[in-house]
Structure 1
């Protein structure tokens, strides 16, 4: 029987296939089908990762002499040995000095409606000014620089300026509290920190300078704090350390030499959210990050120079640098938005699409579920006519939300390029190509060059069975260890199966070869010896029209080992009741079976989430079980939702 995820929802027409960037690559290499492409790119990895930078047009300062070297072990594979290059040269300098000089590179809109737009030549000059002042402050290649900024235009210039001079950028989530900021700055050893006087969120000012001052006070290495002033209002100031943005920029020069960086020299430290223990600093190189991201946005998202690319993200999440680097490499236009997706009205993002003629649009499933609550009354069909590709990442989809995104936003003509990877690879293990059909909620298959499998507990490949997502061969963008902590890196990814990267996600391949995710393996609920991912239960709950969001956790049970407890956010027209709770339990049983019947379904007004709208299940579980210490709360953008979670025994 066909279900809402087993049927094919979207098929490319002949024109889409003919004009796709990946089709050109296939023709150049005599590849006749999607299946052959994936097979060759994931089994002949040395051939693929050699052919790829040439096909993309990556410019090297010094050509590499060898594609890969595993002499130090698979976890420490060296890539593009002997080569030198620079991300900023490839993303900016070469465009500013060529035919793209007057093409728009960046459009940025703040929550209060302020617009900034720069061409490639204007962006390049501004980046050079910033880079030259940084050099004047003594920042040299290999030194780290913190970026604690809202998603305003100059977050792009600062990132590219760091990379231009060979400094290692540390982008930090603008919603973090001072302690979380300081943890990352101290670990990275940053001497320079960029911030702003404030950010905006739902019409409220977030006093970033004051927060940055607290973080700097806990970070002895910080010697300089550059403040992007958005108003003339008085703010705390430390003479000798703090520098005003306008003065900083004015003291720079419009030309600044770009450093030639060895292929594997660090470009960025991207820290994980620190949900447990010390945040992990993943290390990403100039060649690895550039080539992986350029591949994904050029081939999986099919970006053309005429495209305008937007992703709802923050500079501190992987998708921020990923979007900036990938889009600019291909000469497209990056669109940034600072603020909440539903402020001041629920159609803010759809207004953004219309205003800036966005063609490629990315968001998380949870953010879509939030926007679904408002319905489609505010969405004007013509406003979304510029869209040609939809993107998503961050967590598994439920069918109802996926179909809403596909039908109401994409109007059934835009493929949903659902990708999944992580901060640790600054890219994707799984990613669709628009030359092949798509099933709802699926990720279609392996990303180009990503040798992934689904394994069971015994380390054997499985089909039509949920298992561990693993990578059996290395890729250039895999983190170069954890900053100052190589043993933790080996333990996190390489300890379960020698020479195999264990990514920590549950995945599933159906009978037709389409791949699906089922959440994090460490979120898995084990009921009477059987494992189930919370996303499956949550998706079943959201099949009921009353439920707009859901979270499922496992709690200790003396008989079953764990019992399932669910938390549901209802649509506005529904009210909590015992009857509805029982009805939702029956829905789960009808869709998944009696073994997955929730012990309880509890109603809440909101669920704790990250700024990128991922539900934080560990906080829900800790709160429900009455933990005295909830751990690191820095990644939670709505901590008030934690307090609304009922404790066990008081429900």
Structure 2
């Protein structure tokens, strides 16, 4: 049985010295052998790193999953406690006398830069909070934020938290259709966007996507959107609507500088129950529509703050003022929520945020930024590391001073040995043992949108370096690798990764669809009360865990989890496509890439058979069609016309078989197929087209 049996663990608030001075690296941490009381006492102490307006009376209570009702567990942390996330991220640091400390070093892709102190950040967040309230946004209302990595993105996020509005950040590269779904699903009253964003050296329009997304979703059309708040970033020309949708005398479209820039800089915060929803994070699953995971305030903030301090803060509190943290993720991803917004800011850290891509204006842009701001912790994706390896085959030029780096981290997928070695020897080249060996600590973290914060990771002080292994649980979490029947696997045996004791940052439900929360995560091991992560894994002889990839039909592309069915749906929406099967194929840079197998209409098939140029053009169109429907990150690397896609007798597309056929791997059992003769045909097509790149050696 996981977590608590039905019941409660009661506690009282402990006085905190504050995160800047907390000597957390010296804490006694619970292990898998610790009692439940010891584990919850630890989380009591971690929650005490926050400022609470009202103490909690119950640390944790848990109602197990209910199979008959098809309901996931009811997870509650720090009940009775009241706090404000924005106060914890901004105000309290000023009260502590650190208002002049830099909170954000912003670097824009064109070269513009700005450093924002905590005092200035409070002023801006207060203005934005007043502006939100002036637009009629109240506690519990949803606000969708469709912005690139800007100071304003963090400001409006914290302003939502300050007034109790639930925010939902959307990646700026997503299409209008993807944005529209999130606006409609959340019932948002406000969309915050920008005229454009800088991307790969160009000013890219953004508001046109926002306009298309709110079409049909405004209050006058029976929807919920009342206003679109627009940040002026690129100066691009935009269309504008002055329609008064809610009778407040304001138009639908409003400029940020008019509404926020002219608002009062004094704002009195509200305080909310620990279980008050803070944000919704969408993640693609296997049923097509993304799932909106709900994270609550007190538990999420506790997990984000503690794990940031444990993995990235200097172990000596007296040296922590020199920390400069940089998480390279887009602010819309959960990685950035936890380790670029809430975790670092709750800790009172200084950090870098960067708007653009890593190779504009040149491939050394990240190294320039590390050198300029004396970055001490660099948290990025293995995909980016592999890109840097390609851009600098002879190593990072000596002209870059990277000596400030003290720890590096990776996220999104297990880092392969070559990338880990390159990161430690090149980016961390100044950190060496007395014998000259690479010594830059590397925390290869494993966690998910669902967990909210890191669950598995080597500790930065660890001397046991195993590239690709995410090692052991973070304090207060418990994880296992089990077979279909729930029995632990033996070392070297693949199994399902399950979380058997959740931490407080765990998502509580799926927005508007609690049954999907149950069916997606809890149904398989409902009797045990375990969370099914959806990843395959195995333990080694030391007990360390290795993540082997997804067990469901989803694709991890550079840390972005994409639904195969969502991509298939986009392809089938094209008039030339009858059916589609999408599978994850090996990619040396991004780890995986979607490859699409499409069954064309008869007319399209005849057209493409008669003219090779027509086939090339159609495949190009189909790739772009997916990019327009979902976003460029979802574009298939290759589109391969096939006579059929392999299906089981129950009609399920065997996507893993498609991966094996494409990548030239040994085929699994095909006896369950209803159309087995198509397998050798697809295999021949893949071999003829030669779309599968050669695999690098990732053996340990």
> Structure 2 CA distance, aligned partners of 1:117 and 1:21?
20
TM-score normalised according to structure 2 size: 0.73
**Higher mean Cα deviation, 301-310 or 480-489?**
301-310
Q: Report the Cα distance in structure 2 between the residues aligned to 1:71 and 1:416, rounded to whole angstroms.
A: 37
Query: Shift of the alpha carbon at 1:534?
Result: 13
For residues 637-648 of structure 1, the aligned pairs below 5 Å read 637=632, 642-643=637-638, 648=682
Q: Which residue of 2 aligns with 1:45?
A: 39
Residue matched to 2:614: none
Match of 2:418 among 400, 410, 414: 400
Q: 1:434 to 1:232 in 2, by over 3 A?
A: closer
Residues paired across the two proteins, number: 545
Q: Which residue of 2 aligns with 1:81?
A: 79
Equivalence for 2:59? 67
Contact kept in structure 2, 1:366 and 1:615, CA below 8 Å = no
Q: TM-score, normalised by structure 1?
A: 0.78
Asked if 1:458 corresponds to 2:453, the answer is no
* Larger displacement relative to structure 2 (369-378 or 481-490): 369-378
Shift of the 315–25 alpha-carbon distance from structure 1 to 2, 3 Å rule, reads closer
Question: Residues 495-546 of structure 1: CA distance to partner in whole angstroms, max 9, x if unpaired?
Answer: 0011110101112221122222111112699xxxxxxx999xxxxxxxxxxx
> Structure 1 residues 114, 68: CA separation in 2 closer, same or farther (over 3 Å shift)?
same
The range that moved more, 246-255 or 492-501, is: 246-255
Cα RMSD, aligned residues only? 2.9
Question: Paired residue for 2:269, among 254, 258, 261?
Answer: 258
1:354 paired residue number? 371
CA contact (8 A) 1:518 1:534 kept: no
CA offsets, 1:26-70, max 9 Å, x none?
A: 6554x6xxxx6564387843222222222xx21111100011122
The aligned residue for residue 529 of structure 1 is none
Superposed, which structure 2 residues align to 1:192-591 within 5 Å?
Answer: 192-219=190-217, 220-239=223-242, 240-273=251-284, 276-303=287-314, 304-322=320-338, 323-375=340-392, 376-380=394-398, 382-411=400-429, 412-437=438-463, 438-464=465-491, 465-498=493-526, 499-522=529-552
Give the 3 Å change call, closer, same or farther, for CA 488–423 of structure 1 in structure 2: same
Give the equivalent residue in structure 2 for 1:135: 133
Q: 1:181 to 1:415 in 2, by over 3 A?
A: same
Distance in 1 between residues matched to 2:255 and 2:178, nearest whole Å: 24
1:394/1:614 contact within 8 Å kept: no
| CA–CA separation in structure 1 for the residues paired with 2:584 and 2:286 | 21
- Structure ID, larger Rg: 2
8 Å CA contact retained: 1:144, 1:188: yes
1:399, distance to aligned residue in structure 2 (A): 1.4
**What's the offset of the Cα at 1:188?**
0.5
1:10-29 paired onto structure 2 within 5 Å: 24-25=23-24, 27=26, 29=28
Query: Paired residue for 2:579?
Result: none
Quote the Cα distance in structure 2 between the aligned partners of 1:640 and 1:524.
14
Q: Structure 1: how far apart are the matches of 2:554 and 2:337?
A: 30
1:47 and 1:358 map into 2 onto residues whose CA distance is: 34
The answer on whether the counterparts of 1:63 and 1:83 sit within 8 Å (CA) in structure 2 is yes
1:114: Cα distance to partner?
0.8
1:451–1:175 CA distance, 2 compared to 1 (3 A): same
Q: Which residue of 1 aligns with 2:592?
A: 615
Closer, same or farther in 2 for the Cα pair 1:295/1:114, shift >3 Å?
same
Where does the alignment leave 5 or more consecutive residues of structure 1 unmatched? 1-19, 526-532, 536-563, 570-606, 608-612
Partners in 2 of 1:196 and 1:179 — Cα distance?
17
Cα offset for 1:435?
Answer: 2.9
Shift of 1:324: 1.2
CA contact 1:273–1:635 (8 Å) conserved in 2: no
Contact 1:175 1:635 in 2 (8 A): no
Looking at structure 2, the residues matched to 250 and 468 of structure 1 have their Cα atoms a distance apart, in angstroms, of 51
CA contact (8 A) 1:519 1:534 kept: no
What secondary structure sits across from 2:114 in the alignment? Answer: strand
Quote the Cα distance in structure 1 between the aligned partners of 2:357 and 2:599.
31
- 2:569 corresponds in structure 1 to none
SS in 1 for 2:269: coil
Q: Deviations over 1:454-500 (max 9, x none)?
A: 11222111241221110112322211110010000000010001111
Report if aligned partners of 1:128, 1:161 keep a CA contact under 8 Å in 2. yes
1:71 Cα offset (Å): 4.0
User: How much does 1:373 deviate?
Assistant: 0.8
| CA distance in structure 1 between the partners assigned to 2:331 and 2:372 by the alignment | 22
Maintained 8 Å contact 1:275/1:632:
no
Change (3 A) 1:163 1:524: closer
1:352-388 Cα offsets, whole Å, 9 max, x none, are 1111111111111112112211224553365211111
Matched residues in 2 for 1:46 and 1:227: separation? 44
Change over 3 Å in CA distance of 1:461–1:180 after alignment to 2: same
Deviations 1:609-643 (A, max 9, x none): xxxx5634xx31xx146588999756553566634
Change (3 A) 1:106 1:425: same
Write the distance in 1 (CA, Å) between the matches of 2:286 and 2:485.
28
Q: Secondary structure at the match of 2:212?
A: helix
Could you tell me how far apart the structure 1 residues matched to 2:474 and 2:240 are?
48
CA separation of 1:228 and 1:495: change in aligned 2, threshold 3 A: same
- Structure 2: 5+ residue stretches without partners: 1-18, 66-71, 218-222, 243-250, 315-319, 430-437, 559-582, 602-621, 643-681, 690-700
The structure 2 residue matched to 1:163, chosen from 161, 164, 168, is 161
Q: State how far apart, in whole Å, the 2-side matches of 1:429 and 1:131 are.
A: 33
Residue 615 of structure 1 aligns to a residue in which SS?
strand
Structure 1: distance between partners of 2:305 and 2:149: 21
Contact in 1 for aligned 2:20/2:347 (Cα 8 Å): no
SS at match of 1:458: coil
Q: 1:66 and 1:115, CA in 2 relative to 1: closer, same or farther beyond 3 A?
A: same
Task: Give per-residue Cα distances to partners, 1:129-175, cap 9 Å, x unaligned.
Answer: 01011111111101100110010111110110010000001111111
Q: Aligned in 2, Cα 1:233/1:314: closer, same or farther, shift over 3 Å?
A: closer
Paired position in structure 1 for 2:145: 147
Task: State how far apart, in whole Å, the 2-side matches of 1:252 and 1:305 are.
Answer: 32
